[in-house]
Amino acid sequence: MIDIQILRNDIGIAKDKLLSRGFDLDVATFQSLENVRKELQVKTQDLQEKRNSISKEIGISKSKNENTDLLMKSVNVISEDLKAGESELAELQKKINQFMLDIPNIPHESTPIGKSESDNKVLKTVGEPRKFTFKVKDHVDVGAQHGLNFDLGVKLSGARFVVIEGKLAKLHRAITQYMLDTQTDKHGYKECYTPYLVNSDSLIGTGQLPKFEADLFSLSHNESKLYLIPTSEVTLTNFVRDEVLKLSDLPIKLTAHTPCFRSEAGSYGKDTRGMIRQHQFDKVEMVQIVHPDKSYDALDEMVSHAEFILTSLELPYRLLSLCSGDIGFGAAKTFDLEVWLPSQNTYREISSVSNCEAFQARRLKARFKSEDGKNLFVHTLNGSGLAVGRTLVAIIENYQNEDGSITIPKALVSYMGGIEKI
């Protein structure tokens, strides 16, 4: 949630910045709500002052043994009016809060201005794509002979699901383990195991609800509703919901391996072949909770942590700064890492690392006590370290051999029990 003071102090600038990311702020509605709020606050403040004044009169009259019936009747009437006004104000605050929940984050000044992914800025390209001496196959065709079974996935669950068997399943597990070990042992994240089902408060906190409910899988549980997590960013970031942290607690660095569930409601018809866009996939997530002054240093650090996985697996990739029209709902600044896929002759996203600044923290009420004793909002960051399925795809395609076998990247051989080729 953006700071409401930004809208109150200069809504014109806020509107322009939000337009740069394709969001048209409803200025008229906000100003209408604000005008009513001001009127109600003035009304309730006046009533409170009148009640306090009459209460003092009652106290003075009683000390003089004077009759206070009329004063008591008057203060009771004011109290009823005040109660009604406070109730009306509370309802209005709910409407304002709902209005604010639908507004995306304001892009950081360094975020490139643009409308779509075509306006993203390539910052660097690392590694040379392999020159093949044979016709390259995609991961679907190479993987079919090693246990990548899309037909069985459809049989069990439907489209956009896959079953992975045999040594390819072992490779999928090895990738996951390697990523977890790297993020914990080398980069200092605390490994966590979190629920795969969360309540609506958790998803409101990180920004998936209420705006993106159509992209989530949900189920009824007793009289409540639970949602399958779209990423463990949700659970890890919610660790600090409704908390006031000590300054010494920061930074907090968390990682988790979880399946991620996304209905891909907004991606109908995209990447229908293969594992690029699945309803269920695995990811090793990185989350940092940091002091506001340190969040952009943390963002650069997290990008380097994701890059380390790609360079150690010797996979060609490029780094992009996403434009204002392509960053996620809660992000102020986002870097994407895209891995080279030879079958598509292009780079595809494998990690997205974002600084949400205080956007999620306001929704979460996640704060820390500063040196001068003030409760300030933390900054939250999240990123893939990496998407496991897409890393498997990249390895299958970049390490494929003419006979259909797949060479195991050196960094993963020990995790494969010494197997160098499948």
Structure tokens at 194: 């979190």
Separation in Å, CA 264 to CA 21, 151, 270, 275, 278: 21, 20, 9, 13, 8
- pTM across the whole model: 0.94
Angstrom distance (rounded) from CA 251 to CA 291: 7
Q: Judge whether 312 is annotated as a binding position.
A: no
In the chain, how many H helices and how many E strands? Answer: 12, 16
Q: Judge whether 232 is annotated as a binding position.
A: yes
pLDDT at res. 271: 76
Q: Judge whether 384 is annotated as a binding position.
A: yes
Q: Judge whether 79 is annotated as a binding position.
A: no
Give the mean pLDDT of 339-357.
98
Angle at which helices 388-398 and 166-181 cross, to 10°? 120
pLDDT at res. 336: 98
Q: Judge whether 382 is annotated as a binding position.
A: yes
Give SS3 for 320: strand
Q: Judge whether 34 is annotated as a binding position.
A: no
CA angle, corner 384, sides to 383 and 388, nearest 5? Answer: 175
Q: For residue 199, give the amino acid letter.
A: N
Q: Judge whether 87 is annotated as a binding position.
A: no
Q: Judge whether 352 is annotated as a binding position.
A: yes
Which domains are present in the chain?
Answer: 26-102 (1.10.287.40), 117-416 (3.30.930.10)
- Measured in degrees and rounded to the nearest 5, phi and psi for residue 291 equal -65, 140
pLDDT tens digits along 359-398:
999 999 999 999 999 999 999 999 999 999 999 999 999 9
Which stretches of 269-405 are DSSP H helices? 295-312, 359-364, 388-398
Give the mean pLDDT of 57-83.
90
Contacts of residue 73, Cβ cutoff 8 Å, sequence gap at least 6: none
Per-residue pLDDT for 124 more than 60? yes
Closest C-alpha to 275, from 226, 339, 216: 339
Beta bridge partners of residue 227, listed in sequence order? 198, 218
